[in-house]
Amino acid sequence: MAPFIPGISEVGLGELLEEARAAGAKSASYGMLRLPGPVKEVFEQRLREALPDRADKVLNRLRETSVQPGRSSPSTRGRGTGPYAEALAATFDGIVRRLGFPGSPPTRLGTFRRPDRPRPQLELF
């Protein structure tokens, strides 16, 4: 799920993941909304027009998660930091486990094999 918009995307999260699993999804993950540069102003304006009653909540949650380039570690990149981001990750991961999704797409290292000889195109060089 991307972008995950705090204050909006939580609604129906479990049902959405259940439907995805029933439709054959093999894995599930999410990426928190980031608002770089002028995108932030446009997003805020449109949010206030479309959902005036929830705009402040959404914007405060985005500030709380502080998803910004250079300010997150590889383990939190895309998921944010802080109490809200941690609670969301726990909720999402719990639903994913309950539904039987693997935590991430399976890694299939055994399917790669190096060719015995170079491919014909490489022999041209």
Please report the pLDDT score of residue 103 as a whole number.
54
Name the pTM for this structure: 0.70
Calpha distance 109→5 (Å, rounded): 34
Query: What is the signed CA dihedral for 34, 39, 44, 47, rounded to 10 degrees?
Result: -80
- In this prediction, residue 125 carries a pLDDT of 57
Query: Where residue 59 falls among pLDDT bands split at 50, 70, 90?
Result: very high
Closest CA to 15 of 89, 86, 95, 97: 95
Answer for the pair 78, 31: CB distance below 8 angstroms, yes or no. Answer: yes
Both tokens assigned to 98? 């309950």
Give the pLDDT confidence score for residue 98 in this predicted structure: 92
Q: CA 124, CA 69: separation in Å to the nearest integer?
A: 43
What is the pLDDT of the chain when averaged over all its residues? 80
Tokens of 110: 């055994």
Is the pLDDT at 123 greater than 70, yes or no?
no
Does 124 score more than 70 pLDDT? no
pLDDT for position 51: 96
Q: In terms of C-beta density within 10 A (0-12 exposed, 13-18 middle, 19 or more buried), how is residue 6 classed?
A: buried
pLDDT at 82: 87
pLDDT by residue (tens digit) across 68-122?
544 544 445 678 888 999 999 999 999 999 998 865 444 444 555 555 665 666 5
Q: What average pLDDT does range 18-29 have in this prediction?
A: 91
